[in-house]
Amino acid sequence: MNILIAPDSFKGSVTAKAAAQAMKSGVLKGHPDAVVTMIPMADGGEGTMTSLVDATSGSVYQVEVVDPLGRSILGEYGVTGDGQTAVIELASASGLDTLAAEERDPRIASTYGTGQLVLDALNQGLRHFIICLGGSATNDGGTGLLRALGYRFLDAKGRELEPGGLALQRLHIIDSSQVESQVHEATFQVACDVNNPLVGSNGASAIFGPQKGATSEMVQSLDQALTVFADCIERQTGQSVHQWPGAGAAGGTSAGLLAFLNAELKPGIQVVTEAVGFRDQLKDGQFDMLLTGEGKIDGQTASGKVVAGLAAIAQQYHLLTLAIAGSVEDDLQPLYEKGLTAAFSITDGPMSLDNAMDNGDILIEKQVEQMIRLYSVTF
């Protein structure tokens, strides 16, 4: 029996790597002679950097950077095992979790710290980047990130704007004369799972601003500021990012990356599967089963989550795909149509959520063992 194990993290309970280890233990208890391959996975959101580092035997680097309000913190980024790709999560230096609830203010929050992480990786010789956009505290169109790389955002009198999204209302020109060649030599893949445009009623400020602390009045001002930013981009580059699908992700960071770093937006699960060579693992037909999983499987899982993404790929290779989760809810027919064979909950009796979260690895191992024992009867 040859089994591929590729779970996402069970958020708040176990990491993707720990989940994979628990699944492996369950497999070997159910079938001691099984051959197991583990690839910790992620969907481009929180935990993607760790999963890609674990999956490729890469490394994590810590760097002193600034948080969204300009205070010194330790940020981190990963480098894949081949030493070729830097994986940076916006949440590390510019995320909501770096601020207390009362500190959240998208008018002044900046992505500068994320740019410092990019710059450090560039200085280490890296030229390929995966940028994960989830969890940002910012609404600055990625201008903070770009500032760290040498871009200057100036008003009509040639004065540099202060950090944050609101200051973009006074933007007159974007100066790239101090950007070093290494920035233009790099390629950027951006894990983006939203289609929101940069501006308007469905844009970055209106949809994501309130969760970052924006009032209705702030939303209107921030949307106007991003419109000025987009207008300036169009004047200088000929690109219109106002309504570009996905440009509104992470407070418009997508727009800045698209306009100035020639970034490529991709669904998060696609970015991750390509980075770990998931499809290549399946090409020779060596596996009898794919075991995957995540914290919850429900009606949202079919929209870009790990279980759905992997099942769709596995279906192309006629590979049995079983998934486990802390809870399995709703109609799973869309997942079955994507290629999922069956899904199982790891909870094996009445228990509190806290109990389940605290014992996630044990519950994963037990459920997988039973699944493998059943499968072994027909193997």
DSSP label of 329: -
In angstroms, the Cα distances linking 89 to 110, 129, 141, 168 are 15, 11, 16, 24
Q: What is the 3-state secondary structure (H, E, C) of 20-61?
A: HHHHHHHHHHHCCCCEEEECCCCCCCCCHHHHHHHHHCCEEE
Q: Residue 337 CB: number of other CB atoms within 10 A?
A: 13
Give the tokens for residue 211: 């969760």
Output the pLDDT for position 11: 84
Output the pLDDT for position 172: 97
Q: Residue 137 CB: number of other CB atoms within 10 A?
A: 28
3, HSE (Cβ side, Cα atoms, 13 Å): 31
Residue 53 and residue 89 in contact, taking contact as beta carbons nearer than 8 Å: no
CA nearest neighbour of 211 among 136, 113, 112, 110: 136
Output the pLDDT for position 301: 87
DSSP label of 370: H
In angstroms, the Cα distances linking 273 to 40, 127, 295 are 10, 20, 19
Q: How far apart are the C-alpha atoms of 180 and 335, rounded to whole Å? A: 46
Output the pLDDT for position 294: 93
Name all domains of the chain by residue range, CATH numbers in brackets: 2-40+279-378 (3.40.50.10350), 48-268 (3.90.1510.10)
Residue 246 and residue 132 in contact, taking contact as beta carbons nearer than 8 Å: no
Stated pTM of the model: 0.89
Beta bridge partners of 141: none
Give the tokens for residue 232: 């300036």
- For the chain (379 residues), the mean pLDDT of every run of 10, in chain order, is 94 91 96 95 89 93 97 97 96 94 96 98 97 94 98 97 97 96 95 93 95 95 98 95 95 96 93 93 93 90 88 95 92 92 89 84 94 85
Q: How far apart are the C-alpha atoms of 370 and 288, rounded to whole Å? A: 17
Output the pLDDT for position 379: 64
Give the tokens for residue 179: 């950007």
Residue 59 and residue 87 in contact, taking contact as beta carbons nearer than 8 Å: no
DSSP label of 284: T
Q: How far apart are the C-alpha atoms of 310 and 123, rounded to whole Å? A: 35
